[in-house]
Amino acid sequence: ELSYGNTLMRLDFVWLRDHCRSASCYNAKTNQRSLDTASVDLAIRPRAVRVDETTLFLTWPDGHVTRYGLEWLLKNSYEGQKQQVMHPRILWNAEIYRQAQVPSVDCRSFLETDEGLKEFLQNFLLYGIAFVENVTPTKEDTEILAERISIIRETIYGRMWYFTSDFSRGDTAYTKLALDRHTDTTYFQEPCGIQVFHCLKHEGTGGRTLLVDGFHAAEQVLRRAPEHFELLAKVPLKHEYVEGVGGCHNHMIGVGPVLNVYPWNNELYLIRYNNYDRAVINTVPHDVVRRWYHAHRALTAELRRPDNELWVKLKPGKALFVDNWRVLHGREAFTGYRQLCGCYLTRDDVLNTARLLGLQA
């Protein structure tokens, strides 16, 4: 046990030997472990231990000395991690987001400067949505925009998707009908991380985009009925996409709970919510299923609260980036001719870009 910064840390000796940062145990150039963990005696104990104001020193039976800065231990211990969030966020409803007056980033600044890119990514990380203005309304220019922050994730829908309301795929999204709030690709084992939308043309009425912060809704469920939150985070469900239209034949199945949390601090990192694509519930025993429906209803009620709904009219030149692991999107019905393009981005690459610019992601 080691107390530092008002935190009591409990550190196992095997862990302390395994994480040694000496030159023989850890390659500081590659940031990779050199020590073979399997070679460490699981009953190892240090021969001597010393602590000063900033450092813990351990001398092991073979004479090897390990040094740890106490700040490093506080940050990297289990007790320290429990007190931190992996991804700082601002949870929002429509009023909170409007009052924040989050600025859009100009396309040129986004593409040509680190400052513009950093501002965009900071907005995106905090709110789960971000806009770029003055984009040339073409699929090609939207692709250039997306590639600024990530590799484009190619899926069964292709690399860059581009559609009108022609029902060319067996999916409600390709119609003029309203779409209720949902996250995309819940039927992938790893749902797509980020989605890009750019409306290239709309000659008609309606068609506003609906955005809802799923993490804000889940937080309300946690506060009012923690047992519902816990159930939604534990019960695995199947989501399924079956397609047999024209030359497109696909059968995708993804499995996971509606709410996904880091177990050490209960921080929510992924919501998988799509009532269209939820498969038959056959992974939930009889004594749990009705409680699950109550929990799902509580979350749905929060997601459908009018004050949680942010309505945005997409227009040519304004590209929208959505965190598909957090923010649900939908659409009101529309008339006329509407062209939309976009793509999915790999989450790892977006977060990588943010970290390289000094952001916590």
Res 167 pLDDT > 50? no
CA 255 to chain centre: 17
Mean pLDDT, range 256-272, rounded to an integer: 97
- In Å, how far are 41, 163, 204, 218, 242 from 214, measured between CA atoms? 46, 26, 30, 6, 26
| Model confidence pLDDT, tens digit, residues 8-64 | 999 999 999 999 999 999 999 999 999 999 999 999 999 999 999 999 999 999 999
Q: CA-CA distance, 316 to 117, in Å (whole number)?
A: 21
pLDDT band at 172 (very low <50, low <70, confident <90, very high): low
Mean pLDDT, all residues of the chain: 94
- In 3D, which of 180, 197, 172 has the Cα closest to residue 332? 180
Q: What is the DSSP string of 292-321?
A: HHHHHHHHHHHHT-GGG-EEE---TT-EEE
Lowest mean pLDDT, pick from 153-167, 236-250, 266-280: 153-167
- Residue type, position 341, single letter: C
CATH fold of 2-79: NE0471 N-terminal domain-like (3.30.2020)
Look at residue 168 and tell me whether its pLDDT is greater than 60: no
User: How confident is the model at residue 169, as a pLDDT?
Assistant: 45
Task: Provide CATH code, domain 94-357.
Answer: 3.60.130.10
Q: Do 2-79 and 94-357 agree at the fold level?
A: no
pTM for the model stands at: 0.92
From residue 303, give the alpha-carbon distance in Å to each of 134, 262, 318.
Answer: 31, 22, 25
pLDDT at site 81: 95
The residue type at 310: L
Q: Which residue has the higher pLDDT, 335 or 316?
A: 316
Residues of the chain with pLDDT > 90: what percent? 89
Determine how many CB atoms are found less than 10 A away from the CB of residue 6: 7
Residue 91 has pLDDT above 90, yes or no: yes
Rounded CA gap, 6 and 175, in Å? 58
Contact 145, 137 (CB under 8 A): no
Q: What is the pLDDT of residue 175?
A: 63
Show me where the domains of the chain are located: 2-79, 94-357
| Size of the chain in residues | 361
